[in-house]
């Protein structure tokens, strides 16, 4: 392993700084099916440090990222047009080894070969793996960097292990820009295989305070699981932002530009995050007519599935993931646009008394957003903790907060606080019990409650705000109404119940003499 690292460094040292102009690959090079250019100098011969298979938005940018960090990058795409485009447009950014067939692609990579697959999640990943296998040698490493379902990654991990191929399921967040400039990377699978690629991926990742936003997550599909929950949190974050926007627009009649100013202001405080920052940018954007673009965008949210998977996993684990799940449902309701338009005609509309806001009104929405966001993150981390226990993954929650501080979509100032919460010797069992978050939600509570109450009384839907405060109210309650649920379950199904005043399980003979028996 260490010799590989040395080899990579040596090769980089030998390169003249003018290498970018002596383009390793040219548009004509693509026609030579992976033939490495003759002017390349390498201790290991003319070989690539890493391969990237799948050169759509993410794959092409990841390949460019690696090349810009001085790694030799083999690139291959099923349809060669994408490879040609990458080399034509960006071939001068580093040393690329373009290939038009998969055999030439694999032959151009140093062994054990690390190959990042960046294709559409699902069946295409299995198809690509099947295609690759005849060209691989024992110990080679397949890294799936797409948004794969974690159970697929666990399956691939074990199936490939039986064939002597090492598998890393690596969640990558940051979108198009992150892939190029430095994403947050969540690799899981075989630890030794990760050690082999660590020098490469940690340089490709975003860096915060000198720490790469990339660390080994855990075995099997742990990397993709963590990426999935990251995306689930992203769903909640975005829904909460959309609800805050809706309140400012519907209650106070604010225009997009004015709301942009408010988000920009919020981005200077505890809400500082990438999503709040880009919310201001999106709201500020005007289209060709000079009107705010956002006012012309259809109100139908699409989804690729990671939020839904997060909610489904939460149901399987029995984790109350209300904020993220509401965000998934809100997107589903937004998707029923035709039905909503019919309903808007058929059902009476609330008459909202719109008035100009005071600073206190705006501050109240900010507090509701912040408190709801804390709940969403607390639930997401509770789910990660439950999954870790269920699957035996030994996830380090503080490390996850650390690698989410940069590169990814949910990067935010307050992830530092989450990192601190899990870094002590005695980590808190739940983020809402950690001093900084407990104090924040308690301070925000009056405004949070008032905002949700006002929204409900005016008929403005705030499903994520409302479910977050309902969770908070349930969470802090020593005794809820589930005693009655247990009584009902025992009545119709003899499911038994526990008693507060003595140990054991009990059943009441409801349909018989009404006596209670210990079971
Ligand atoms: P897409 O998800 O749009 O997938 C297109 C790529 O998949 C093309 O290279 C295509 O090849 C290839 N492909 C599809 N089917 C096959 C197949 N059967 N065999 C071989 N290749 C196939 O690309 P993106 O770059 O958007 O995303 C790549 C992965 O990264 C996905 O899993 C995505 O979910 C994930 N991701 C995407 C993010 C984003 O912001 N876009 C962010 C984070 C992760 P061809 O050109 O030949 O059709």
The answer to whether residues 425 and 298 belong to one domain is yes
Q: d(Cα 408, Cα 237) in Å, to the nearest integer?
A: 13
Mutate to test the pocket of ligand 1, among 102, 115, 119, 131 (most ligand atoms within 8 A of CB): 119
To the question of whether residue 331 is assigned a binding role by annotation, the answer is yes
To the question of whether residue 231 is assigned a binding role by annotation, the answer is yes
Question: What pLDDT sits at residue 241?
Answer: 98
Question: Could you give phi then psi for residue 75, rounded to 5 degrees?
Answer: -130, 140
Question: What pLDDT sits at residue 514?
Answer: 98
Beta strands in 343-455 (DSSP E): none
Q: Does residue 307 lie within any of the structural domains?
A: yes
Q: Does residue 366 lie within any of the structural domains?
A: yes
Please identify which of the residues 198, 220, 234, 382 carries the catalytic annotation.
234
The answer to whether residues 416 and 495 belong to one domain is no
Question: What pLDDT sits at residue 272?
Answer: 97
Last residue of a domain, one of 220, 251, 276: 220
Q: Does residue 3 lie within any of the structural domains?
A: no
User: Closest Cα to atom 30, ligand 1: which residue?
Assistant: 146
Q: Does residue 7 lie within any of the structural domains?
A: no
The answer to whether residues 317 and 421 belong to one domain is yes
We report the CATH number of the domain holding residue 139 as: 3.40.50.720
- Answer for the pair 371, 462: CB distance below 8 angstroms, yes or no: no
Distance 55 CA to ligand 1 centre (A): 7
Last residue of a domain, one of 173, 204, 220: 220
CA-based nearest residue to 401, from 377, 372, 383: 377
Q: Does residue 232 lie within any of the structural domains?
A: yes
The answer to whether residues 392 and 416 belong to one domain is yes
Q: Does residue 255 lie within any of the structural domains?
A: yes
Residue 498, domain extent: 482-518
CA-based nearest residue to 52, from 124, 116, 135: 116
DSSP-assigned beta bridge partners for residue 498: 505
**Which residue ranges in the chain fall short of pLDDT 50?**
1-44
Please identify which of the residues 84, 220, 227, 373 carries the catalytic annotation.
227
DSSP-assigned beta bridge partners for residue 116: 52, 143
CA-based nearest residue to 297, from 308, 307, 287: 287
The answer to whether residues 27 and 80 belong to one domain is yes
The answer to whether residues 168 and 245 belong to one domain is no
Sheet of 505-508, strand order? 497-498, 505-508, 516-518
Last residue of a domain, one of 220, 245, 274: 220
The answer to whether residues 261 and 189 belong to one domain is no
Question: Could you give phi then psi for residue 303, rounded to 5 degrees?
Answer: -155, 145
User: Closest Cα to atom 4, ligand 1: which residue?
Assistant: 120
Q: d(Cα 372, Cα 374) in Å, to the nearest integer?
A: 5
Looking up tokens 């607390």 gives 378
Tokens encoding 105:
């692609």
Pocket of ligand 1 (CB under 6 A): 54-59, 77-79, 82, 118-121, 124, 127-128, 146-147, 172, 175-176
Known active-site residue 227: yes
Quote the longest CA-to-CA distance of the chain.
93
**Cis before residue 112, ω within 30 degrees of 0?**
yes
Question: What pLDDT sits at residue 423?
Answer: 84
b/e burial code for range 75-110 (CB count within 10 A of at least 16 → b): bbbbebebbbebbeebbbbbbbbbbbebebbbbbbb
Known active-site residue 163: no
Q: Does residue 4 lie within any of the structural domains?
A: no
Q: What are the helix and strand counts (H, E) for the chain?
A: 20, 12
Mutate to test the pocket of ligand 1, among 52, 78, 228 (most ligand atoms within 8 A of CB): 78
Q: Does residue 5 lie within any of the structural domains?
A: no
User: Closest Cα to atom 34, ligand 1: which residue?
Assistant: 147
Sheet of 50-53, strand order? 96-99, 73-76, 50-53, 114-117, 141-144, 166-173, 184-189
Q: d(Cα 353, Cα 92) in Å, to the nearest integer?
A: 60
The answer to whether residues 139 and 247 belong to one domain is no
The answer to whether residues 353 and 370 belong to one domain is yes
Question: What pLDDT sits at residue 45?
Answer: 56
CA-based torsion, 380, 385, 391, 396: positive or negative: positive
């Amino acid at each position: 392993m260490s010799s590989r690292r040395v080899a990579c460094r040596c090769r980089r040292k030998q390169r003249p700084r003018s290498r970018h102009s002596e383009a390793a690959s040219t548009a004509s090079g693509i026609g030579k099916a992976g033939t490495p250019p003759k002017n390349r100098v390498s201790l290991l011969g003319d070989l690539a440090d890493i391969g990237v298979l799948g050169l759509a938005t993410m794959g092409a940018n990841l390949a460019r990222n690696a090349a810009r960090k001085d790694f030799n990058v083999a690139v291959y795409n099923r349809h060669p047009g994408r490879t040609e485009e990458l080399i034509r447009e960006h071939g001068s950014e580093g040393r690329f080894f373009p290939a038009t067939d998969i055999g030439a692609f694999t032959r151009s990579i140093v062994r054990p070969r690390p190959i990042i697959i960046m294709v559409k999640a699902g069946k295409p990943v299995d198809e690509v793996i099947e295609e690759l296998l005849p060209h691989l040698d024992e110990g080679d490493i397949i890294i799936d960097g797409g948004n794969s379902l974690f159970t697929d990654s666990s399956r691939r991990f074990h199936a490939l292990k039986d064939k002597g191929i090492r598998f890393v399921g690596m969640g990558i967040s940051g979108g198009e820009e992150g892939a190029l400039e430095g994403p947050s990377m969540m690799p899981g699978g075989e630890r030794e295989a990760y050690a082999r690629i660590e020098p490469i991926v940690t340089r490709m990742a975003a860096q915060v305070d000198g720490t790469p936003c990339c660390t080994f997550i855990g075995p099997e599909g742990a990397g993709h699981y963590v990426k999935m929950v990251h995306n689930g949190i992203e769903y909640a974050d975005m829904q909460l932002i959309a609800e805050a926007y809706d309140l400012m627009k519907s209650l106070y009649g604010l225009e997009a530009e004015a709301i942009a100013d408010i988000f920009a202001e919020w981005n200077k405080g505890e809400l500082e995050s990438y999503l709040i920052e880009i919310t201001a940018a999106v709201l500020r954007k005007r289209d060709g007519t000079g009107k705010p673009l956002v006012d012309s965008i259809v109100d139908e949210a699409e989804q690729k599935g990671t939020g839904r998977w997060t909610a489904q996993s939460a149901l399987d684990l029995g984790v109350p993931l209300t904020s993220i799940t509401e965000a998934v449902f809100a997107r589903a309701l937004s998707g029923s646009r035709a039905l909503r338009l019919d309903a808007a005609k058929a059902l009476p509309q609330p008459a909202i008394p719109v008035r100009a806001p005071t600073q206190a009104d705006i501050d109240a929405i900010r507090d509701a957003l912040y408190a709801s966001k804390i709940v969403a993150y607390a639930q997401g981390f509770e789910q990660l903790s439950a999954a870790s226990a269920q699957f035996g993954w030994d996830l380090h929650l503080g490390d996850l907060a650390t690698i989410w501080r940069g590169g990814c979509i949910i990067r935010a100032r307050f992830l530092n606080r989450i990192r601190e919460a899990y870094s002590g010797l005695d980590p808190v069992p739940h983020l809402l019990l950690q001093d900084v978050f407990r104090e924040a939600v308690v301070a925000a509570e009056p405004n949070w409650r008032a905002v949700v109450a006002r929204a409900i009384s005016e008929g403005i839907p705030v499903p994520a705000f409302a479910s977050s405060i309902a969770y908070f109210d349930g969470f802090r309650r020593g005794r809820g109404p589930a005693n009655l649920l247990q009584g009902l379950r025992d009545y119709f199904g003899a499911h038994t119940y526990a008693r507060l005043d003595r140990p054991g399980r009990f059943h009441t003979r409801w349909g018989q003499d009404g006596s209670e028996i210990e079971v």
